[in-house]
Amino acid sequence: MRRPRFLLTLLMGNVLLVAAVMGGAVVLSSRSLARIHRRTLQTRQVELTGLGRSAVEQFWSDDPAEMIPRCDALFAGAPYRVTLMASDGNVLWDNRVGAGQVERRFQASPSPEMVEALNGRRVEAVRADPSAAAPLRFVAEPIRLDGDPAGRVAGVIRTALPAADAAAEGRWLRGAVAWAAGGTVAVALAPALLLAWLWYLPLRRTAVTARRLASGDLDRPVPVGGPEELARLAMALNEMRSSLSAQIALIDAQRRGLQTVVSHLREAVVAVDDEGRIVQLNAAAGRLFGASPAAGVGRPLQECVRVPEVVDAVAEALRTARQVDTQAAGEIAGRHRVVDVHAIRVRPAGGEGIAALVVVRDITELAALAAVKAEFAANASHELRTPVATLRAAVDALGAAGPGDVEQVRTITAMLDRHTRRLEDMIRDLLDLHSIESARRGVVAEPVDAEALVGRIAEHFAAALDRKGIRWAAAVAPDAPAVRADRTMLQMILRNLVDNAIKFTPAGGSVECTVSRQGRGVAVSVSDTGCGIPADLHERVFERFFQVEPSRTDTGEGRGTGLGLAIVKH
């Protein structure tokens, strides 16, 4: 069934109401009605001018190129003339003048009311105008910009309506009142109530549901009923409700996704509001600062993050709206840490929610690595200085030796050979260590027979063992399986361990290499009967160039490069 059109229902009711009211109305004074009508038109024109002024003040600009399209959109279809003039007298826009003329910023002769409005007050005038055949009624108001603290006048808006229209409408009203003078208001009461009832109920239902939508209740749809126009409005509101529900669901999913990403970041991320209270704290921040992410929300930053540099960086970012980068070093959550701090404001002041973010990255290991590199460079320089100085002295002594100094030449040659070998060993160890640390050499996993590997190590050191009179013992468990490992790296590890054992085991001692099954793999150990390493130095044995001897300048035969165990560790 086709619903009655709302406009037709309202129109018919209005016709009945007007006919009944006008039929029973008392004849009013035509002069008084004309005055009232004239004042109404004047008031309406003033209100329209004020509304136009308020709208124009929102986008005011002295540049016609900016004003023309905005004014065209704002005053499209206006039945009255509107003129905008800047404070310097230039006409910026007029809906009765072509756009090209305004863009050329022609200098018009300012009208008296516009000149007077530049003094800061509203002006009303009725006068003849060259652009119209009949006199016009003008209303001009000054335009002031809210951002100007001095409240100066930036321009003038003027509206114009034909003055003759008011007189003509007054005459028409006097005639209409004369024809409707005999009606009574009582006759119009019943149809007026009926008409109000016809459109009040569906409008009320729609308004109630619209208020629920505005308050965020998107579960209940708008009832579709009443006249066609109201039914279409209800259907449009239902479509809007569905669209809002989908958008809110999407935004919520994106928010949860972003929270998931932030919560899984390795860097500590803390979000605060304008007052410095925590809005969000990810898991990494909780671990770094020893705070609970859930319990920290809503608390001041300094209560959960007891690092002055972080708190100061956030405060400065909130105050200056600039990115703040700094570092902090000290006791953080019971451990000495070095951290990078980056704080930035993410929105202007005065809003709600997240105002600033601070990202804290723990660079303790990087700082320690930098210190190790610096120490490594110093140690390498120290270790290279001694053999190089010895070689320099030996070369000088060799040059000073006479032809008959055979024994001295032999001694010097032996010294050169010993220190040259030491330099070669050090350079080889440095290259091996660098290759391992920089991961230039990839791991090549292959089946390795532990017993065969130990046998090759014994063959490699057979001469050194015989020279020092050290007994070699190898014990390989019969159930030790072949393992997948990098054969070259495994040989390098065992060679360094066995080489250290031989160097620090006196003559008559023994070196033993054992291979035993451990779970799904094997355990290889090297032991000796040498001097051993004091317990207080165990933590340092893997440091580069560390040696147990108290003096680094000892040139004894057992002295190594100090890099073997560092290579084994890596």
Higher pLDDT, 489 or 466: 466
- For the chain, give the mean pLDDT: 74
pLDDT (tens digit per residue) in 421-465: 777 766 776 666 666 666 555 667 788 787 888 888 888 888 888
- Report whether pLDDT(552) > 50: no
Residue 104 is predicted with a pLDDT of: 43
Of 263, 268, 367, which is closest to residue 310 (Cα–Cα)?
268
pLDDT digits (tens, 9 = 90+) for 24-53: 554 555 566 667 767 777 788 788 888 888
Question: Which of 149-163, 479-493, 547-561 is least confident?
Answer: 547-561
Model pLDDT, residue 120: 84
N- to C-terminal Cα distance for the chain?
A: 87
- In tens, the pLDDT along 266-324 reads 788 888 888 888 888 888 888 888 787 777 788 888 888 888 888 888 888 888 888 88
Residue 530, pLDDT > 70, answer yes
- Contact present, 194 and 13 (Cβ < 8 Å): yes
So what's the pLDDT on residue 109? 60
> Which pLDDT band, with edges at 50, 70 and 90, does 173 fall under?
low
> pLDDT at position 432, please?
65
Q: Rounded mean pLDDT of 538-564?
A: 52
Name which of 319, 324, 321, 308 is nearest 359 in CA terms.
324
pLDDT given for residue 194 in this prediction: 63
The pLDDT tens digits for 200-211 are 667 767 777 777
Judged by DSSP in three states, 86 sits in strand
**Does the pLDDT at position 105 exceed 50?**
no
If one compares 269 and 134, the residue with the highest pLDDT of the two is 269
CA pair distance 267, 264, nearest whole angstrom: 9
Q: CA nearest 55: which of 35, 33, 75?
A: 75
Looking at 80-84, 85-89, 434-438, which range is the least confident one?
A: 434-438
> Residue 523 has which token pair?
């355990």
Lookup: tokens for 555: 């040139």
State residue 436's pLDDT score: 63
51-65, 250-264, 444-458: least confident range:
250-264
Name all domains of the chain by residue range, CATH numbers in brackets.
26-179 (3.30.450.20), 265-362 (3.30.450.20), 368-437 (1.10.287.130), 445-569 (3.30.565.10)
Give residue 359's Cα distance to chain centre: 10
Strands annotated E in 1-135: 81-86, 91-94, 123-127
pLDDT value of position 171: 60
Phi/psi-derived region of residue 560, left when phi > 0, alpha when psi is between -120 and 50, beta in every other case:
beta
CB 177 within 8 A of CB 33: yes
Q: What gap in Å lies between CA 369 and CA 45, rounded to an integer?
A: 79
Task: Report the percent of the chain where pLDDT is more than 90.
Answer: 0
- Highest mean pLDDT: which of 139-148, 161-170, 531-540? 139-148
User: Who contacts 148 (Cβ-Cβ below 8 Å, separation ≥6)?
Assistant: 154
Q: What is the mean pLDDT of residues 219-243?
A: 77
Q: How far apart are CA 424 and CA 426, in angstroms?
A: 5
**3-state helix vs strand vs coil in the chain, percent to 5:** 50, 20, 30
Q: What is the pLDDT of residue 555?
A: 35
Q: Is the pLDDT of residue 357 over 80?
A: yes
What value does the mean pLDDT take over residues 474-497? 78
550 confidence band (pLDDT: 50, 70, 90): very low
Report d(CA 223, CA 217) in Å as an integer: 14
Is the confidence at residue 523, as pLDDT, over 50?
Answer: yes
pLDDT of residue 473: 84
CA dihedral 290, 296, 302, 306 (to 10 degrees): 0
pLDDT of residue 126: 84
- pLDDT band of residue 556 (cuts 50, 70, 90) is very low
Is the pLDDT score of 108 beyond 70? no
What's the angle, vertex CA 373, arms to CA 372 and CA 374, rounded to 5? 90
Q: What is the 3-state secondary structure (H, E, C) of 170-194?
A: HHHHHHHHHHCCCEEHHHHHHHHHH
The dihedral of CA 408, 411, 415, 416: what is its sign?
Answer: positive
Q: How do residues 371-402 score in pLDDT, each as one tens digit?
A: 767 766 666 666 667 677 777 777 777 777 76
Closest CA to 270 of 303, 349, 262: 262
